[in-house]
């Protein structure tokens, strides 16, 4: 992979990279489509990274659909697919980790200790191997995207991190490889995450700016779904990811909840355009 990437760079080509854990859906393919607009070649990877799963998490049952994924990537115009194996990525004696302090421990990091250390370590390794000019990540994993952008800035990486929007099913459920775990009853109930965010959007559009009031109306919508157990529902600043008391700058509303054994996350990104007091909502 390093040899091929070096070759592309010496030919002055713009290398784009879409790292994934496979089980592809339209969200992944939208990142490939975006990469294809900016880069040639587009390289993708599939690696179910053991270091980002906790001992009680779903590493062994994570969906693995390699053949179908390879076909989808090829049809989408991916020129090379990197499929490393765990012993190559983490040989005996592997001892070096990278971790973004502070933000790694909050929100997702609180429920999934060590998760983000695994993510930033594998992403740094993948970027070192593929050496892309641009790497593409989805905004559904908003905290992950922020951590990776922070790592790239802090470590002066030669890769620009590009974030793509959430892609949703027609009923609003954010696409995720983990949606495959949902029973048909849970799948119907799962739309409540999107409904809670849509309710918050209505309130924001009507002028509500108080984070506590927004959070309680989100919780009201989520609590009305008996199959749903909330992990967190928070309004955070888009740069610091610190909770805010009032929504006055670009922000995220971040949600995490369990439906049975499946943990789902979702978010709404609210962007304040230069010179405007009104938000553009990305939901
Ligand atoms: O978002 C994912 O699929 C994974 O966390 C990533 C970025 C490919 C690292 O394993």
Task: Give 148's pLDDT tier (boundaries 50, 70, 90).
Answer: very high
> Is residue 266 lining ligand 1, measured as CB closer than 6 Å?
no
**Which pLDDT tens digit goes with each residue over 67-94?**
999 999 999 999 999 999 999 999 999 9
**Which pLDDT tens digit goes with each residue over 221-256?**
999 999 999 999 999 999 999 999 999 889 999 999
What average pLDDT does the segment 185-191 reach?
97
Active site residue ranges: 28
Query: Which of 119, 18, 118 is CA-nearest to residue 69?
Result: 18
Q: What is the pLDDT of residue 276?
A: 75
**Distance from the alpha carbon of residue 226 to the mean position of ligand 1, in angstroms:** 30
Task: Give 262's pLDDT tier (boundaries 50, 70, 90).
Answer: very high
What average pLDDT does the segment 123-146 reach?
97
262: which strand partners?
A: 259
> Is residue 141 lining ligand 1, measured as CB closer than 6 Å?
yes
Task: Tell me the pLDDT of the chain averaged across its residues.
Answer: 96
- Please determine, for residue 158, whether its predicted confidence score (pLDDT) is greater than 90: yes
* Nearest residue by C-alpha to atom 9 in ligand 1: 119
What average pLDDT does the segment 26-53 reach?
97
> Is residue 234 lining ligand 1, measured as CB closer than 6 Å?
no
- Please determine, for residue 267, whether its predicted confidence score (pLDDT) is greater than 90: yes
- Please determine, for residue 274, whether its predicted confidence score (pLDDT) is greater than 80: no
> Is residue 151 lining ligand 1, measured as CB closer than 6 Å?
no
Q: Please name the helix (run of DSSP H) or strand (run of DSSP E) that holds residue 204, with its range, or none.
A: helix 192-205
Distances from the Cα of 171 to the Cα of 119, 238, 275, angstroms: 30, 26, 34
**0.85 exceeded by pTM:** yes
What average pLDDT does the segment 12-34 reach?
97
Two structure tokens written together for 283: 């939901």
Distances from the Cα of 74 to the Cα of 8, 19, 65, angstroms: 18, 15, 14
Probe target for ligand 1 pocket from 43, 123, 130, with the most ligand atoms within 8 Å of CB: 123
**Distance from the alpha carbon of residue 27 to the mean position of ligand 1, in angstroms:** 13
Q: What is the pLDDT of residue 278?
A: 82
**Distance from the alpha carbon of residue 21 to the mean position of ligand 1, in angstroms:** 6
Q: Evaluate whether 264 touches 186 at the Cβ level (below 8 Å).
A: no
What the chain holds in terms of domains, given with CATH numbers, is 2-164 (3.40.50.620), 177-282 (3.30.1300.10)
**Pairwise CA distance, residues 216 & 234, whole Å:** 10
């Amino acid at each position: 992979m390093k040899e091929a990437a070096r070759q592309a760079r010496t030919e002055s080509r713009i290398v784009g990279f879409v790292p994934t854990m496979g089980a592809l859906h339209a969200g992944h393919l939208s990142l490939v489509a975006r990469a294809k607009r900016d880069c040639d070649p587009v390289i993708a990877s599939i690696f179910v990274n053991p270091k980002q799963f906790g001992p009680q998490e779903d590493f062994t049952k994570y969906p693995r659909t390699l053949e179908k994924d390879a076909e989808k990537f090829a049809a989408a115009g991916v020129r090379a697919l990197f499929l490393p194996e765990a012993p190559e990525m983490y040989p005996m004696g592997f001892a070096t980790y990278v971790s973004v302090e502070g933000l790694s421990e909050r929100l997702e990091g609180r429920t999934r200790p060590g998760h983000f250390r695994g993510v930033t370590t594998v992403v740094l390794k993948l970027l070192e191997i593929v050496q892309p000019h641009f790497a593409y990540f989805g905004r559904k994993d908003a905290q992950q995207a922020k951590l990776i952008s922070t790592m790239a800035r802090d470590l002066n990486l030669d890769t620009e991190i590009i974030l793509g929007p959430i892609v949703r099913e027609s009923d609003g459920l954010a696409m995720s490889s983990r949606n495959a775990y949902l029973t048909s009853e849970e799948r119907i109930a799962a739309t409540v995450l999107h409904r809670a965010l849509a309710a918050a959007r209505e309130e924001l559009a009507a002028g509500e700016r108080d984070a506590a009031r927004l959070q309680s109306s989100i919780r009201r919508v989520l609590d009305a779904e008996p199959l749903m157990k909330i992990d967190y529902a928070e309004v955070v600043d888009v740069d610091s990811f610190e909770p805010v008391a009032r929504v006055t700058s670009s922000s995220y509303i971040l949600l995490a909840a369990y439906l049975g054994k499946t943990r789902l996350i979702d978010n709404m990104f609210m962007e304040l355009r230069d010179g405007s007091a009104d938000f553009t909502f990305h939901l």
